[in-house]
Chain A
């Protein structure tokens, strides 16, 4: 998290620390389910797809990474990457992790809600503020061992598209350019002022939730940290969770 603040206990109790190839984030959405980005589980730089759930380590209950590691991980039973996700691209960058044992909720751990269709007009509107948190890289290019968060506003899809296309034009490598594709399964959040020290999510925050308190003051997982062109140099791009409600429920509602 760039230019963010240290989270206080109880600010983001759904925050999950995921350790696999590197560190990443996730959002607790139920006693058995963690929502994260697909590229956290099937990263582009992995030689071949590895679906071994035991290699996914899940931590919760603290805001401190060292403390989290001491508490121990929550064993993973299985994970489910969205079937339309392709490694190296970020469309459908969403996955579900099923924990072997139910999480007991409390002050330091409780789930975030999924957005309802009624929330959509509110939480994805231009300039609507949301919060993103994580243990990823900070503005000092250090990793955060304590949970940090920052408030960033949603950016209109057209503004984001313009921004992405501008950046794309400057990329010569064809395969690299393919990654610069914005889809309707994404939304952008951040600040347009490139020169200012502005908040953004960054490497290590992937899969963490971009959350918004809705009109009922209930916090919903509006997006998942997905990708961006650098950090703090424009908008961050997030997976639009509301597009995947049916897919998510097809797993979670079996419980």
Chain B
């Protein structure tokens, strides 16, 4: 009789398991929270039998109705142990009553009484009543979701749940889409759309993107064969310009808007039974022209078939070449495809690098083994000392130097120390000789 009792429990007759007292009346009121109903089972039942259970009995009541009055022992027909009592509502009442004696043929008979188990059971509010009562009203206008202890409602796409948490209404006057792709459909699609709609679906994407609309099937908007869309209309705007208006049952298929702002306006009159429309929109950036190298020394990466907004390329040169932009040498170069489909910097050129004049060798000189005077990458020079008065000393036995990609003259080992010319000693040009003997 306490509302705060747990969601399950047992009820026993007075003095149970000892015989119940005479002239006793007891009542139990079971209450569970909203969203539940009550299930009751008798586990033990031993009440003085009588015709119509007139003397002693247990009465079960729920939902304003009496579910039965019971007495007897295990095998009697009026015993309720094989039944499950289930309430529709949140309350159940058990009433026990005994008369002044329990005698049979002058002998006192002890009756044990009863023990019952009750529990709260989640109520599926979404399910219609099993007795198909005509008065049942679904708890949700569109979709009902049951959960333990309650339920909630939701609406079909394009509809909004109203403040009563039950009914759904179309609200599509300012639908905004900012993802680069997505789906849009008429309210309730593919079920017939409601009357008196004035929907506006706005797609707003970054400048430089171009939106394409792909209308799906079924496509069905009320029309008249001899007048252009007199009832319901679907209009597509690109920016401020209307591209087209549609009705009927022929899907427009693909619509290329070439704009990054699109509005789809759908207006219906007060009648009709058409299924409506749906579309998948996608967007693509404006492609930039394929970058072309000016010469075979230019390396463009990454290589792509199409370059679109935000794609960028890096230009490098082959070894021994340098990047030149407007006669200015660059350490590195990259350019990005802009929203208007142009590259933000034109592709530069690659020019061969040159070395400075080779270091002068004191008491020696160099000569070109490649084209004389050419200081470009991979030109080769060889040093010589002024013989016979000097001889060469080299770091790694190399007198040959090549103009490297780093614009330095390097020997075969990669060193840049030029040889030394050191004087030859003890070798006179004209040693003294005596001819006379």
Instruction: Give A189 to B374 CA distance when docked, in angstroms.
Output: 59
**Of A5, A13, A31, A114, the contact of B428 (CB 8 Å cutoff):** A13
Asked whether any CB of chain B lies closer than 8 Å to the CB of A218, the reply is yes
Q: Please name all residues of chain B whose beta carbon is closer than 8 Å to the beta carbon of A238 when the two chains form the complex.
A: none
* A200 CB, min distance to chain B CBs, angstroms: 17
Indicate whether A110 sits within 8 Å of B424 (C-beta atoms), given known contacts A105-B363, A105-B390. Answer: yes
Instruction: Give A111 to B425 CA distance when docked, in angstroms.
Output: 5
Q: Is the CB of B429 within 8 A of A30?
A: no
**Of A7, A11, A218, the contact of B427 (CB 8 Å cutoff):** A218
* A225 CB, min distance to chain B CBs, angstroms: 17
Q: Is the CB of A110 within 8 A of B389?
A: yes
Chain A 91-104 near chain B by CB (<8 Å), digits 1 or 0: 00000000000111
Q: Please name all residues of chain B whose beta carbon is closer than 8 Å to the beta carbon of A107 when the two chains form the complex.
A: 389, 429
Chain A 1-42 near chain B by CB (<8 Å), digits 1 or 0: 000010111111110000000000000011100000000000
Instruction: Give A11 to B433 CA distance when docked, in angstroms.
Output: 9
Q: Is the CB of B431 within 8 A of A11?
A: yes
Total interface residues on B, using CB and 8 Å? 17
Instruction: Give A6 to B427 CA distance when docked, in angstroms.
Output: 19
Total interface residues on A, using CB and 8 Å? 32
Instruction: Give A136 to B290 CA distance when docked, in angstroms.
Output: 88
Chain A 51-71 near chain B by CB (<8 Å), digits 1 or 0: 000000000000000000000
Q: Please name all residues of chain B whose beta carbon is closer than 8 Å to the beta carbon of A11 when the two chains form the complex.
A: 428, 430-432
Q: Is the CB of A9 within 8 A of B389?
A: no
* A133 CB, min distance to chain B CBs, angstroms: 9
Chain A 119-137 near chain B by CB (<8 Å), digits 1 or 0: 0000000000001000000
* A208 CB, min distance to chain B CBs, angstroms: 14
Provide a sorted-by-A list of 29 A–B residue pairs whose CB atoms are within 8 angstroms: A5-B432, A7-B432, A8-B432, A9-B430, A10-B428, A10-B431, A11-B428, A14-B428, A103-B423, A105-B389, A105-B424, A107-B429, A110-B423, A110-B424, A110-B427, A111-B424, A111-B425, A111-B426, A114-B425, A131-B432, A151-B432, A151-B434, A213-B426, A213-B431, A214-B426, A217-B431, A219-B425, A219-B428, A220-B426
Interface residues of B (CB under 8 A from A): 362-363, 386, 389-390, 422-432, 434
